[in-house]
Amino acid sequence: MKLLRANRLLILAALGWLMLATTPAYALNPSRQLSQYAHTSWRISDGEFSGIPTVMTQTADGYLWLGTNIGLLRFDGNRFLPWSLPPGQRLADSRIFSIGGAKDGSLWIGSGYSVSHWANGTLTTYAHPQGRIESMYMDRKDAAWIVRTQATDRQGPLCRMTSGGFRCLGPADGVPYDSALAVTADTSGNLWIGGYYGLCRWKDETSICYFHRSDKEEQGVGSVRAIAASPDGSLWANIETSSTKLELEQFQNGQWIRHIYPSIPANNADVITLFVDRENFLWVGTAHHGVFRIQGSRVEHFGSEYGLSSDAIGSFYEDREGTMWVVTSGGVDNFRDVRVASYSMREGMYADGASSLIARRDGTVWVGNFQSINFLRDGKLSSIREYHDLPGRSVTTLFEDHAGRLWVGIDNGLWVYENNRFRAILDADNQPIGIVFSICEDADHSLWVKAGPHLYHIRDFQIEEEKTSFEIAHSYILAAHPAGGAILGTVTGNLVRYNNGREEILPVSDGKKKIWPSEEEDNLRHIRDLQALPDGSIWGTTVSEFFIWKDGVRENLTAANGLPCTDVFAFLRDSRGSLWLSMSCGLVHISSSEVARWWKHPEAIIHAPLVVGTLDGVQPGVTSLKPQMAMTPDHKIWVVNSRILQMYDPDDERRNEVPPPIHIEQIVADRTIYAPQQNLHLPPHTKDLQIDYAALSFVVPKKVRYRYKLEGRDHDWQDPDIRRQALYSDLSPGNYRFRLIACNNDGLWNEAEASWNFVVEPAYYQTEWFRVMCTVLALMSLWLLHRLRMWRMRESINARFDERMAERTRLARELHDTLLQTIQGSKMVADDALENPGDNEHMRHALQRLSRWLDKAMEEGRAALNSLRTSTIQVNDLAPAFERAARECSDGSSMEFTLLVDGVAREMHPIVRDEVYRIGYEAIRNACTHSGGSRVEVDLSYTRDLVLRVRDDGKGIHPEIAASGKNGHFGLKGMHERALRVGGALTLSSSAYSGTEVELIVPGDVVFYNAGTQRPSISAMLRSIFRPRPSSPNK
């Protein structure tokens, strides 16, 4: 993995240097003054970073590196981050004095007493050479040339470092010094070495030295601390002298030229560093006076009073995009080019109160300012000031007529400026005409002037007409109508034409009805700018829209039609018919074709791009005076904002042609930070994923835009604009690929995208084997459900069969215990009568008994039929029923019957009660019929359970019969079945000497209940659950 990452870094580095080598060098615009560049500071006091910065460089991957006295920082355009080394690696000395980025992507680091090399994720620190590394130069072969002081190895002050080792050069190699402070190389490949004793040019083991100082000379005099090579092949050097003025030496065409700068309040001893940028400007960094930039006789200054982080300069650096970096004792500053140039007092304006302007036909720009008129000619600002030819204090408006004369509103009057002299225009009373708001020229070259509440018509410097009305008094902007007269724009939004003494409000409709109100809340219809075109159309702006009026139709272009913001300040129409709007967000350009399309389709969304905004140097603002916007013959657009003058050149083709290197910096998954290693495996249940990335363009980092796509999740490219994070949540397990592209401040996209492959591991329940197992379990569950359904169907069928068999068995028991017993008794009576056929009395008596038995059989048959519908006994108390059964049984015999009842009869379940009665009835009948005894005792106990005992004193029952019943007889068997059905226990005990006893115990929670109030006990529930289901005896 480390090898793959190292190879990736090498590829990125090679691509970075390839792009740099094949791309035109971008640099600061040389036509701009130093104060016209955008300036940004990162201050230590603001907490931007820690440590005093010393030196800066850029590596092939695009990152900027800042050395400080406590370590190394890396900058991505957004923040400075401390450099973190892998575990087990560290710098031998945290004091960084020199650094250099090689084309192979590696970084050379010169510290207090050693040199280190960072390459492919490994830091190599060289034990030699030793000493303080004062300066470093990277040559075209990626060798690092260093110079040092305080060396003890006597190997020479100049050393050449490569990844394969180092070689130090001393007197034997043509380097005559034992220590050196500065090193660089010129375009011819000569190394220049500056030190305490002078300056030497070294090449091919030979050197030529200049400004050599002997040991007898004054300390410091002759030492060379700062040198800089220029793109034109020359070399600049700061040679310390005793002069109080700054004197710099330039080696050009084989000779030294001394340049003296008396305007710079610093001497040679105050100069810390020199640098020559790509445009051949010399930058001078001082210890106490900030930055000076020099080209020829042009000297510019920038210090802490203008926002520099400190006046103590440490070093300069120009990155690959041409941004100039200044390292100071208080922080880091940069100067970058902007598309819009500003002119304020720092650039030569007399005051920061620019409120009106005019672009004259000769290309000069005139600005109405506070206490002055400023004019810009050939890039140089000049002023006509109060008390110096300006006949007043406040300039209101400016206008150039057909003859090239300049008409100026000053204070409360109107003046003509011609041949460097001002001439006043006075009214009939020889008084100023009032504050001038707007001027325009009619087709006959007469002028219309809006001053105070009046409209003036001026011809040949004389007022011909003076007019006022409500509409005129409430207007502040004029435009000449192509057919003659003037068009006025009012604060209520009306357009008024005045011509030949006649005032007319232009009609406004959409062909159906009036749409333009005479008044509106907050004066949003206040017309700010106005222009009449030859075709009779009128173009203008209000507070929040641009409009066109033509032939009675007025259409309004607003943010709803695609304007990037709402407030409109001014407009102009260029030579191509395109529209330029000065708005609260910057300058907006609309092509003539888009204007035509909007006019035909007023609801259309048009292409109205913001060409330059605040990040490009625009400082939006509105003025109460006019004009506010103008275009010179070279197509440059000029705007005032009540403070400064600004210029944008649409034809300037300078663009940042350096595509930004793209990096995926780190991954944060559920608050755990990961390095963006390829094929990284994220743990299961990863909920929140944050991908931090950067595109390294430092001209305007806030204009760097990104697009990304997560393959496996996103269907289309996402547009986060300038956000440097991609956020995802609840990613499903699987393989993903994150792709990232970005563009620089000028919209140049780097199609060499950055990508990162990773895997979200599945949880056990998200794996394939788990899915297969779940599928198998589901199929098994379906099979089991099918089997369960089939079993329940079978059980249901069996239950219905068992129910039918149980009912048949019950009917059999009923027939046996009632009708069959009676018939059997009847047969015994008949048999008894047949034994004495001649005994009529006996016969009569037997027939009577037989009749009663048959009546009883009928009653029992009828009762059996009724039992299918109702209970066997209608009363709840079993005692009377058993007593009646005993009487019937003992009828005609000497059998004695005794009934004992313990407790009070309780409410019983009818079915259970009937079964108990049948068991007791059968036991009593058996005792009467088969026991041969003389006494039958019945005990009925209503305690916790229902207990029934039937005893006789007869001959007993054979054990086999007692256990399984007699063949062909169903009495005992039926008794057992009934007891089992109601959950009772039937016990039969018998002996030949004590007779037979039948005992039935039925649980109380089965037989007793209180309907609607008493709930079954837990024991009853358990017994009902675990009670074995009785099977049919005949099944």
Q: Residues 159-171: what's their mean pLDDT?
A: 90
pLDDT for the residue numbered 832 = 72
pLDDT for the residue numbered 8 = 45
Residues 6+ apart with CB under 8 A from 840: none
Listing DSSP states for 810-861 in one string gives HHHHHIIIIIIHHHHHHHHHHHHHHT-TT-HHHHHHHHHHHHHHHHHHHHHH
Residues 6+ apart with CB under 8 A from 43: 309, 330, 331
12 SS3 class:
helix
Q: Which two tokens stand for residue 656?
A: 């940042």
218 against 827, higher pLDDT:
827
* Measured CA angle at 117 (ends 116, 121), to 5 deg: 125
Q: Residues 30-38: what's their mean pLDDT?
A: 95
269 against 981, higher pLDDT:
269
Q: Residues 586-606: what's their mean pLDDT?
A: 97
Question: Is residue 10 pLDDT above 70, yes or no?
Answer: no
Average pLDDT of every residue of the chain: 87
Q: Which two tokens stand for residue 148?
A: 């040092």
pLDDT band at 875 (very low <50, low <70, confident <90, very high): low
Question: Is residue 633 pLDDT above 60, yes or no?
Answer: yes
pLDDT for the residue numbered 13 = 44
pLDDT band at 19 (very low <50, low <70, confident <90, very high): very low
pLDDT band at 223 (very low <50, low <70, confident <90, very high): confident
Question: Is residue 519 pLDDT above 80, yes or no?
Answer: no
**Could you tell me how many residues make up the chain?**
1035
Question: Is residue 216 pLDDT above 50, yes or no?
Answer: no
149 against 10, higher pLDDT:
149
pLDDT band at 464 (very low <50, low <70, confident <90, very high): very high
The CATH T-level fold of domain 874-1035 is: Heat Shock Protein 90 (3.30.565)
Q: Which of 121-135, 574-588, 626-640 has the lowest mean pLDDT?
A: 121-135
Of 397, 399, 331, 330, the closest CA to residue 368 belongs to: 397
pLDDT for the residue numbered 735 = 96
Q: Residues 68-86: what's their mean pLDDT?
A: 94
Residue type, 22: T
631 against 905, higher pLDDT:
631
pLDDT for the residue numbered 197 = 84
CA 14/CA 22 separation, integer angstroms: 12
Question: Is residue 309 pLDDT above 90, yes or no?
Answer: yes
Question: Is residue 1021 pLDDT above 50, yes or no?
Answer: no
Cβ–Cβ contacts within 10 Å for residue 884, how many? 12
Report whether CATH 2.130.10.10 matches the domain 2-25+51-276.
yes
- Domain 662-766 carries which CATH code? 2.60.40.10
pLDDT for the residue numbered 737 = 97
Q: Is the peptide bond before 627 cis (omega within 30 degrees of 0)?
A: yes
pLDDT for the residue numbered 639 = 98
Q: Residues 908-931: what's their mean pLDDT?
A: 85
In this predicted model, what pLDDT tens digit does every residue of 778-823 receive, in sequence order? 999 999 998 888 888 777 766 665 666 676 676 776 666 666 667 7
Domain spanning 343-648, CATH architecture: 7 Propeller (2.130)
pLDDT above 90 covers a percentage of the chain that reads 64
Asked if 73 and 82 touch (Cβ cutoff 8 Å), the reply is yes
pLDDT above 70 covers a percentage of the chain that reads 88
Q: Which of 521-525, 532-536, 962-966 has the lowest mean pLDDT?
A: 521-525
CA 943/CA 905 separation, integer angstroms: 9
CA 694/CA 379 separation, integer angstroms: 39
Q: Which of 163-172, 463-472, 659-668 has the lowest mean pLDDT?
A: 163-172
pLDDT for the residue numbered 826 = 74
Of 949, 933, 952, the closest CA to residue 901 belongs to: 949
Cβ–Cβ contacts within 10 Å for residue 566, how many? 13
CA 59/CA 771 separation, integer angstroms: 50
Question: Is residue 325 pLDDT above 70, yes or no?
Answer: yes
pLDDT for the residue numbered 213 = 62
pLDDT band at 1011 (very low <50, low <70, confident <90, very high): very low
* Measured CA angle at 94 (ends 13, 329), to 5 deg: 90
In this predicted model, what pLDDT tens digit does every residue of 654-712 receive, in sequence order? 899 999 999 999 999 999 999 999 999 999 999 999 999 999 999 999 999 999 999 99
Q: Which of 137-141, 786-790, 996-1000 has the lowest mean pLDDT?
A: 786-790
Q: Which of 78-87, 325-334, 409-418, 904-913 has the lowest mean pLDDT?
A: 904-913
pLDDT for the residue numbered 245 = 93
Exposure letters 191-200 (e unless 16+ CB within 10 A, then b): bbbbbbbbbb
pLDDT band at 960 (very low <50, low <70, confident <90, very high): confident
Q: Which of 312-316, 558-562, 893-897, 920-924 has the lowest mean pLDDT?
A: 893-897
pTM of this prediction? 0.75
- Spatial strand order in the sheet of 224-229: 224-229, 235-239, 246-252, 255-261
pLDDT band at 444 (very low <50, low <70, confident <90, very high): very high
pLDDT for the residue numbered 450 = 97
pLDDT for the residue numbered 697 = 96
Q: Which of 20-24, 117-121, 538-542, 720-724 has the lowest mean pLDDT?
A: 20-24
Q: Which of 10-19, 364-373, 511-520, 986-995 has the highest mean pLDDT?
A: 364-373
Residues 6+ apart with CB under 8 A from 106: 59, 117, 118, 119, 120, 142, 163
